[in-house]
Amino acid sequence: MTIEAPTLIEDEALTIPDQGQYLRWTPIVLGAFVATAFNFTLVTFGVAIGLGVSSTSPTWRDASIALSLLSGLYLILQALVSFGLGGYIAGRVRGDIDATSSAEGEMRDGLHGLAAWALAVLLGAVLAGIVSAAPVNRASSPTTLANNTVAEPLLSYELDRLLRSSRRSANADISAERAEAGRILMTSSSHNGVNGDDRTYLIQQIQALTSLSAGDSERRVDQALASSKTAIAHARRSTIVLAFSLAAATLLGAVSAWAAAVAGGRHRDGAPLPEWMAFADRLEPKRTAAP
């Protein structure tokens, strides 16, 4: 007599949960879109109220270091809020996955928030690239593109003062001379500064373009070199603040997205927040029973 073995394989197959779909891209994309839109809104608002980290306006370069630090702090805070909101949405609408432990569910919620953060960063980079490329696309001609240098947006005010003349015709084209003067002024921030030959050549060019005397042309060039060196130093300081603020905002945004996604998953499941996140419960005074 033979005894048939029970078909445990089929029964076990019916009870094993589906673990194939570890990430769900619908909540990730939704959270990334919300984070990008909210981030863009807050950045635009910050620029509108004067909290932009950098600007091409000459008046910005006269701003104090406190304003630069405040602008960088605002960039970090808005990143925490934006990425936190996107991460919370990604964790909140992820949907429950059966047969997962509390630690595993928290890990999956956090990964969804982190994925939403990464996608939002990429979307923000693409949007920033499109906005930055817009002025280049509005250039009038290839000649204008060739004559424009990095000195033009940075030292436009110094170049205006350097080449200002009431005797020159309004239709005179000095774009080539302006670009050349800008490249010379850019060397004022170097270790050795502007060499003597470039300074002499620039004085002669100013004298020919503005019909000033040699002494007046020399004084104007010296003032332009000193102003350019100061402007470049301020712009470099703003660039350092911008780079540090962007790096800190991006990294802290990842932490915010992870934590917010975990909180969203807890709210979705009706579970209390983890101990490292339950600040409100610790701050609330303990209630005493009524006599």
pLDDT tens-digit map of 26-40: 899 999 999 999 998
Q: Establish if 61 belongs to a structural domain.
A: yes
Residue 54 has pLDDT above 80, yes or no: no
Q: Is 4 domain-assigned?
A: no
Per-residue pLDDT tens over the stretch 246-284: 899 999 999 999 999 988 888 887 777 666 565 544 544
48 and 159 in a single domain? The answer is no
Q: Which of 116, 92, 127 is nearest to 33 (CA)?
A: 116
Closest by Cα among 42, 55, 46, 51 to 69:
51
CB 84 within 8 A of CB 261: no
Read off the pLDDT band of 43 (50, 70, 90).
Answer: confident
Residues 132 and 245 in one domain: yes
Domain residues for 171?
142-232
128-150, pLDDT tens digit by residue? 888 776 555 554 445 444 455 56
Residue 9 domain-assigned? Answer: no
136, 248: one domain? yes
Kindly state whether residue 6 falls inside one of the protein's structural domains. no
Q: Is residue 119 part of a domain?
A: yes
The answer as to whether 114 is a domain residue is: yes
248 and 115 part of one domain? yes
Rounded Cα–Cα distance for residues 229 and 225 (Å): 6
**Judgement on whether residues 188 and 220 belong to the same structural domain of the protein:** yes
User: Over 80: is that where the pLDDT of 71 sits?
Assistant: yes
**112/80 same-domain check:** yes
Q: At what angle do helices 25-48 and 65-92 cross, to 10 degrees?
A: 160
- pLDDT band for 81, please (50, 70, 90 cuts): very high
pLDDT at 15: 39
User: Same structural domain for residues 122 and 49?
Assistant: yes
What's residue 29's pLDDT?
Answer: 93
Same domain for 136 and 150, yes or no, is no
Q: Does residue 72 lie in a domain region?
A: yes
Tally of CB atoms within 10 A around 25: 13
- Predicted confidence at residue 291, as pLDDT, reads 46
- Two structure tokens written together for 11: 């029964």
**Tally of structural domains, the chain:** 2
Cα angle value 130/134/137 (rounded, 5°): 125
Select the more confidently predicted residue: 289 or 252: 252
Count of alpha carbons within 13 angstroms of residue 286, beta-carbon side: 2
Answer yes or no: do 123 and 211 share one domain.
no
* Domain-located, residue 2: no
> How many helices (H) and strands (E) would you count in the chain?
11, 0
Contact between 186 and 232 under an 8 Å Cβ cutoff? The reply is yes
Residues 6+ apart with CB under 8 A from 202: 181, 184, 194, 221
**For the chain, what is the mean pLDDT?**
77
Per-residue confidence band for 101, with pLDDT thresholds at 50, 70 and 90: low
* pLDDT score for 234: 82
Residue 250 and residue 119 share a domain: yes
Q: How high is the pLDDT of residue 48?
A: 82
- Size of the chain in residues: 291
Scanning the structure block, which residue is given the tokens 């060739």? 146
Integer angstrom CA distances of residue 178 from 11, 27, 85, 123, 262 = 82, 53, 48, 37, 57
Asked whether residue 56 falls in the same domain as residue 129, the answer is yes
- The verdict on 112 and 247 lying in the same domain is yes
CA-CA distances (angstroms) from residue 280 to 86, 255, 261, 272, 277?
22, 19, 18, 11, 8
